[in-house]
Each structure stands twice: as C-alpha cells, then as structure tokens.
A and B are shown apart, each in its own frame.
Chain A
Amino acid sequence: MKAEGKVFRYGNNVDTDVIIPARYLNTSDHAELASHCMEDIDPDFVRKVEKGDIIVAGRNFGCGSSREHAPIAIKASGVSCVIAESFARIFYRNSLNIGLPILECKAASEEIADGDKVSVDYSTGVITDETTGKSYQAEPFPPFMQSLIQAGGLAAYIKENF
C-alpha cells in the first residue's frame, strides 16, 4: 500500500491541544473534528489539505492529552500518514488503534520541506521525497504492532484473539 501527497511541515512537540482544541471536544463527530484540525497552529491547514497529504514533524508529535479525537481529526481531514522523529506514547497507541499510519524517521523528519511531494510505501517503510529525489527508511514496527495493523486495529485483533 502506498501514500502520496504534499507535505505540511511542523516543528517539535506538536500537542493534541493544537491538533484539536478542547473547545471542540463536545463532539466526537469525525467530520466536525476534522473541520478544526490543526486550527491553533495552522489556521490555513483545513482549507489547504487534500486527500493523501502527509504531515511531517519533529520530536514528540502528539504530546499532551489522551484525546483520540486528535488522530481521528487528522485521519478524517484526509491526511494519509504522519512522519515524525518521535511520537508521544498515547498518540502512538491511539494512531495504531484507529488505523492512522505513523512512521518514525529522524532523517526524513529533518530534511523533508514544507510543500514537498512525498510518497510512502507502507510495506517497506520507504519514504521518498519526490521533490528532491531522496529516499529514507522508516523504523519498522515491532511484530506485535504489525499484527495489530494487519488485523485492522485493536478491536478486530481482540475479537480474533480473546
């Protein structure tokens, strides 16, 4: 499976409050959450994002609250995957659980520029910056996480195994 899209680039410590501010947490409607995605860090994001686009960020992406509304908002906005140097642990779990692909890759996180066209091959973890022609290898998922992903998320995995 492949993803391809243009890059929205952000810095370190992008927190769940800027991904989806709590003032919108009185709903869990996916489309409504998506309509406020990244609002406090990038008010133009919602207007510019197109299906398949990719978020590239630095360290500790998704830090802060446990709100699953954050990866839900990102996924529902059309973003295909998030690439970062590292992810906050609850955001990491939540993304796997809801099926938002996330990739850890320090070099890609440092070098890929805002607006670049990037493709990602999920089966190999290879990230290619089509704008610069440079390729990167993301950290592979541990086997347990791979089986979670293959099952189609936590609910399906548990239904199968428990």
Chain B
Amino acid sequence: MGMTITEKILAAASHEKAVHPGQLIMADLSMVLGNDITSPVAIKEFPKFGKEHVFDRGKVALVPDHFTPNKDIKAAEQCACVRAFASAEDITNYFEVGEVGVEHALLPEKGLVTAGDVVIGADSHTCTYGALGAFSTGVGSTDMAAGMAIGKAWFKVPASIRFDLKGSLRPRVTGKDLILHIIGMIGVDGALYKAMEFAGPGVSSLSMDDRFTVSNMAIEAGAKCGIFPVDEKTLSYLKEHGAKEPRVFSSDPDAEYEKVYEIDLATVNPTVAYPHLPENAHDASEGASIAIDQVVIGSCTNGRLSDLRAAAELFRGHHVAKGLRCLIIPATPRIWREAMDEGLFTIFTDAGCVISPPTCGPCLGGYMGILSKGERCVSTTNRNFVGRMGHPESEVYLASPYTAAASAIAGHIADPEDFS
C-alpha cells in the first residue's frame, strides 16, 4: 500500500521501510528548537538525561524571541539561562538580539530547515516548516531536552487528512484566510493527532509565505503537522536561503487518507476568527459593526515581507482611524531591513503606525501591545483565546494583513476587497 509524504519522511527518519498510522517510532531529528520561554525548562531537565553534551551542536536552535528585548527582570534571567547554555554547549544556531527574529520566520530564512527534515520545537507553531515539505511538530520542554540529549524523538505516526486545493485565491485573499476558513470548517480539534496535508493543483498558486501561514496554523486545528508537497517554488526558496540539499518525498497515489476535503481557492473570502477560538470564522464583510482599539501586524503567522507589503498596499495614502493603535512587527532583522529599504516604514509611519523590533511579545500577551479590559484587537497572529493578548475580558479577532490594515483604517472590522 502507498504512503503519504508524512509517512515517508517518518519511515526514512526511523530507518523503516514503511510505517503506518498508529505505529510508534523513534525518529532521528534534523533540528531541535527552543525559545526563551521553553528552553529554560528544557535546560533544567537536560542533566537528568545522563548525557554530557547536546547530541549535535549544529542541530540545536535556541531562539530567544518571545520576551526579547528582555521585557522585565525575570525574562532577562530566562534569556541569561539560554545564553549561558548556548555558550557552554557552543550552540551554532543561537541568536542574540540584533540577529534574533520570530523563530518560525527565522529558521527557514536562515536555511536551517529543508525538505524531508524531521524537526521538533518546544513551540507549538513549529508545524510551520511543513510548508517546506518537512515533518515538523511542536513538543514540550522535556521532549526538547530529550531531543537535545539523543537526537531522537518518539512519535505515533499520524493518520492524514488531505485538503485538495484547486483554482487560486482572489487578490487580497491570502493563506491566512484559507487556513482560518479551513479551521472554521473542521474545528479546533478537527485534525487532532492527525497530519494535515495540502495537495492538488491549487498548491502551485500559493506563494511560499502563504504556505508558511497555512502550515503555521495547523496546530490550531489540533494537528501534528501541516505539510505541503515540494514543488519548484519550494526548491527555489530552499536554494535562495542556502538550505542543505532537500530530500523530496511525495505522497503515493494510493496512499490512505482518513478524510479528503476539496476547496476551490477562488471561493475563499477574507476571513476573521472571532473570540475566543480560531474556529469562529466569519467573513470580514460581516464585521462593520465591530469597533476596534488596536491592530497588530506581525508574528510567526504573518510577519513576513509579503505580509508587510500587503499592509502597506492599503496604508499608502491613508491613516489609521482616530484613537486606534497599530503595531507593525517585522518578524526578523532581515525582513525589518528589507521593509525599510523598500520604503514601507515611511508608509506605515505616515499612516500613524508604530514599528517594533522583531518579537512575539503581543501575540501571547507577553508585552508590547497588551489589551485592557473590554478592548478589541484585530491581529494577524494565531490565537484568540480568553486573555491571550491581555485582560481576560479583552477580545482578539484573527485576520490577514490585508484585513488588519483595512480594519485599522476603518476603525472597525473591514473587508479589504471593498477597499479602494
């Protein structure tokens, strides 16, 4: 019987000829990732595994991106713990402020993940690298410590759900709208323990940045991974970013899927997930009565250059609504620099936005843009849980950069397709 791309990658990594859903395997890891929140817990656990050093100093990435630049004394202590470990273990891929960016934008940009890799990260959005045809998944700190110790992790091979995409998205409709639409369709546990596989002729029309956004939010449907096939766009992205030689796997025609959904990309509308679950999907056009106080454009979901260009396209010649705060957070120093060089910052500052250094800060209510009681924010981030961005009685509405920018200008949720 045929195998899916996920099964093939996991079979290769566990030195098996074939694997099947439900099978428990021990897989070799290509990269083990942690951030400033999760790494300190892993570093504390590390000595318990009985290994003197990390299994491979080139296959560990320590990315202090959540509460950096250090938000307070405790955050500074956590970063100091990561810095000291990185130095003691001579970790190749440790990134200090100035080089650090939001981890899931940074690793692909630095060419640290390639097709066919198996990656674990102590961050739930590690599933982002599925866009590159890699198997990557989020784990906790103890799993991260185990990965650093032995370079392996245990997995239960997931069954796969396939999303057959056809056609192409309309202008100002993005990968974010697609994934919010899908989560709205299947629910926040619609792919629990499963692999989400995106396939079909519509894949080729999606940019790499769109694919990163789609894979990034697979976890919001409960999935173990969100994986794309490797095509010309993937290969040229990997080459451009100096990634190591890709190992291209593809699903067999007779591979088994637990379910198959068909989606005509042209029918996807600008979509907004209302509080307090990413599955509460609504068309952006329904939101005109929802007044907002803040807009955040950034994060591992939507802080890439194309996201900033999308926002700038709408902000050009416009100003944010009176009394509204709009934060723009380029996800990495390179994106920051490119956005500046392209003149996007002039557009943003003329529009009344403020530009932040790369950080996860507001996405998880850490710092930089916290909401007070009763405030509403349209955000290009990935979660809208109770209290996610601040006060338990504040509200987060998830949307694309186009929708976020249109909403910032209007002062309420707005459909970017209606924007001239």
A residues with CB within 8 A of B: 13, 15, 17-18, 21-23, 25-28, 40-41, 59-60, 63-69, 72, 86, 88-90, 93-94, 97-98, 142, 144, 153-156, 158-159, 162
Contacts and interface: CB of A to CB of B under 8 A. Distances in A.
Q: Which 4 residue pairs spanning A and B have beta carbons closest together?
A: A94-B140, A26-B74, A97-B142, A68-B140
Nearest to A72: B41
A94 B366 CA distance: 22
Contact of B71 (A26, A40, A41, A64): A26
Interface stretch (B143-151, B241-249, B261-269, B306-314): B143-151
B226 to A, nearest CB: 13
B143 A25 contact: no
B143 A154 contact: yes
Nearest to A59: B189
B140 A97 contact: yes
Contact of B44 (A28, A69, A142, A153): A28
B395 to A, nearest CB: 13
Given A97-B143, A153-B142, A13 B189 contact: yes
A86 B145 contact: no
Contacts of B365: 17, 21-23
A64 B121 CA distance: 14
Interface of B: 24, 37-38, 40-41, 44-45, 48-50, 66-67, 71-72, 74-75, 78, 121-124, 126, 138-143, 145-146, 149-150, 152, 154, 156, 188-189, 192-193, 219, 222, 224, 277, 364-366, 370, 383, 385-388, 392
A155 B142 contact: yes
27 contacts: A13-B277, A15-B385, A17-B383, A17-B385, A26-B71, A26-B75, A27-B74, A28-B40, A60-B189, A64-B383, A65-B124, A66-B124, A66-B139, A69-B41, A72-B41, A89-B192, A89-B193, A90-B139, A90-B140, A94-B139, A94-B142, A155-B45, A155-B48, A156-B48, A159-B49, A159-B50, A162-B149
B337 to A, nearest CB: 28
Contacts of B386: 15, 17-18, 40-41
A63 B74 contact: no
Contacts of B67: 25-26
Most central of B67, B139, B152 by chain A CB within 10 Å: B139
Nearest to A144: B24
Nearest to A160: B50
Contacts of B121: 66
Contacts of B388: 17, 22
A59 B279 CA distance: 14
Most central of B40, B121, B143, B385 by chain A CB within 10 Å: B385
Contacts of B156: 142
Contacts of A64: 124, 383, 385
A73 to B, nearest CB: 12
B154 A22 contact: no
Contact of B189 (A25, A63, A142): A63
Contacts of B75: 26
Contacts of B145: 155
Contacts of B38: 66-68
B387 A154 contact: no
A40 B387 CA distance: 7
Nearest to A21: B387
Given A66-B124, A69-B41, A89 B224 contact: yes
A68 B366 contact: no
A92 B350 CA distance: 47
